Amino acid sequence: MPMHASRRVMAATVAAAGALALSLTGTTAHAAAPLDYAALGDSYSAGSGVLPVDASNLLCLRSTANYPHVIASRTGARLKDVTCGAAQTKHFTTSQYLGVGPQVNALDAGTDLVTLTIGGNDNGTFINAITACGSAGVLSGGKGSPCKDKHGTTFDDQIDANTYPALKAALQSVRAKAPNARVAALGYPWIMPAAADPSCFAKLPIASGDVSYLRGIQAHLNAVVKRAAEETGAVYVDFSQASEGHDACKAAGTRWIEPLLFGTNIVPVHPNALGERRMAERAMSVLGLG
């Protein structure tokens, strides 16, 4: 082959190789672009009571070991964490505290992923039910179903009348601000065991007949979270099976939720560090995040 022809072939080969390398580099860079991830929600998302505490906003009692941080660390996502203890659905669109703006302000058209737990604080469902049933359990010595006898369907009625429409509106506000994002609404892991456990009474003083009553209220709340998620195009992350056997009555190292008394967290009846990790892992599995 003539020398000048050989040089042309070599130059063409180099150019083609360079173009291929550029193409592959561009593809790899695009594939590796980190997710723009926004975490919204209440204390179960904030990891309230789990150390270390996020010192950037002490009002929200947010942990840097909460499930959003676990997801971000494992996926390389760029995280905006605006979760806040005691948040209600209304705090997606209104300020919760002075200097703590509406949570949807963290979203925009470039947001790729949103996760949240919300609804448990609306109507004071969690705190009121636990407080009422705990007090009734102590007074009854753990016998009967004094909380159910007194409150009946009150908590369930409030969930249907108030929490469900508020959940749907909150999720619609998320969709409006982040139209291109995948939105995952997480259910709440089990607080109560499937059946009464007399050995748990010292840690969670709920009368034997009220254990199923409280668990039913939580199941109802999770059901309306699922319904609102499905009706607004969000993904529901179900913990009904995954968290079975990890309720607040179980031993440390097994339980995901801390009991009311003699627990290890500064905030009782909330996920511990193990619970936050397991919530992250379940959410990642459902969403297909590696």
Catalytic residue among 4, 173, 270, 285: 270
Are 70 and 213 members of one domain? yes
User: Are residues 123 and 196 part of one domain?
Assistant: yes
User: Is 43 tagged catalytic?
Assistant: yes
- Whether the Cβ atoms of residue 96 and residue 140 lie closer than 8 Å to each other: no
Tell me how far apart the terminal alpha carbons of the chain are, to the nearest angstrom. Answer: 52
Q: No. of H helices and E strands in the chain? A: 9, 5
pLDDT at 4: 44
CA distances 134 to 67, 207, 213, 255, Å, are 28, 8, 12, 19
| pLDDT tens-digit series, residues 271-289 | 999 999 999 999 999 999 9
- Cα dist from 158 to 125, 152, 155, whole Å: 8, 12, 5
Cα(192)–Cα(256) distance, rounded to whole angstroms? 11
101 and 157 share a domain?
yes
Q: Which residue has the higher pLDDT, 57 or 249?
A: 249
Please give the pLDDT value at position 46: 98
Nearest residue to 123 via CA among 97, 154, 98, 82: 154
- Tell whether the model's pLDDT for residue 12 goes beyond 80: no
Q: Is 270 a known active-site residue?
A: yes
Same domain, 78 and 50: yes
How would you label 31-56 residue by residue, b for 16+ Cβ within 10 Å and e otherwise? eeeebbbbbbbbbbbbbbbbeebbee
Residue 110: both structure tokens together: 């470039």
Six token digits for residue 89:
């659905």
Q: Is 24 helix (H, G, I), strand (E, B) or coil?
A: helix
pLDDT for residue 16 is more than 50? no
pLDDT at position 288 is 97
Say yes or no: 45 and 27 in one domain. Answer: no
At which residue do the structure tokens 């529901």 appear? 236
Report the DSSP pairing between strands 113-116 and 78-81: unpaired
What tokens appear for 272 in the block? 């511990």
Radius of gyration of the chain (CA): 24
Res 7 pLDDT > 80: no
pLDDT in tens, 158-198: 999 999 999 999 999 999 999 999 999 999 999 999 999 99
Answer whether residue 18 shows pLDDT above 80. no
Amino acid at 151: H
Q: Which CATH number characterizes residue 186's domain?
A: 3.40.50.1110
The pLDDT tens digits for 59-110 are: 999 999 999 999 999 999 999 999 999 999 999 999 999 999 999 999 999 9
For residues 259-279, one letter each, b for 16 or more C-beta atoms within 10 angstroms of the residue's C-beta and e for the rest, the string is: bbeebebebbbbbbbbbbbbb
pLDDT at 123 over 80: yes
CA atoms of 246 and 254, how far apart (whole Å): 6
Which token pair is 23?
Answer: 């193409």
> In the chain, which ranges are continuous DSSP H helix?
3-31, 43-46, 67-75, 125-140, 146-151, 154-158, 164-177, 208-231, 273-287
Specify whether 80 is located in the same domain as 170.
yes
**Catalytic residue of the set 4, 23, 43, 173:** 43
3-state secondary structure of 237: strand
- Please state the length of the chain: 290
Q: What is the mean pLDDT of the chain?
A: 91
pTM of the full structure: 0.88
In this predicted model, what pLDDT tens digit does every residue of 244-272 receive, in sequence order? 999 999 999 999 999 999 999 999 999 99
What is the mean pLDDT of the segment spanning 220-244? Answer: 98
Q: Are residues 15 and 150 in the same domain?
A: no
- pLDDT for res 290: 77
The two structure tokens encoding residue 162: 């108030």
Q: Mean pLDDT, to the nearest integer, of 206-234?
A: 98
Residue 51 shares a structural domain with residue 19: no
- Asked whether residue 18 falls in the same domain as residue 133, the answer is no
A 10 A CB-CB count for 126 gives 24
Q: Let me know if 189 is exposed, middle or buried by CB neighbors in 10 A (0-12, 13-18, 19+).
A: buried
Show the domain range for 278.
35-287
27 or 287: whose pLDDT is higher? 287
- Domain total of the chain: 2
pLDDT confidence bin for 32, thresholds 50/70/90: low
Same-domain status, 20 and 144: no
Q: 14 and 109 share a domain?
A: no
- State how far the Cα of 205 lies from the Cα of 13, in Å rounded to an integer: 77
Q: Could you tell me if 25 and 40 lie in one domain?
A: no
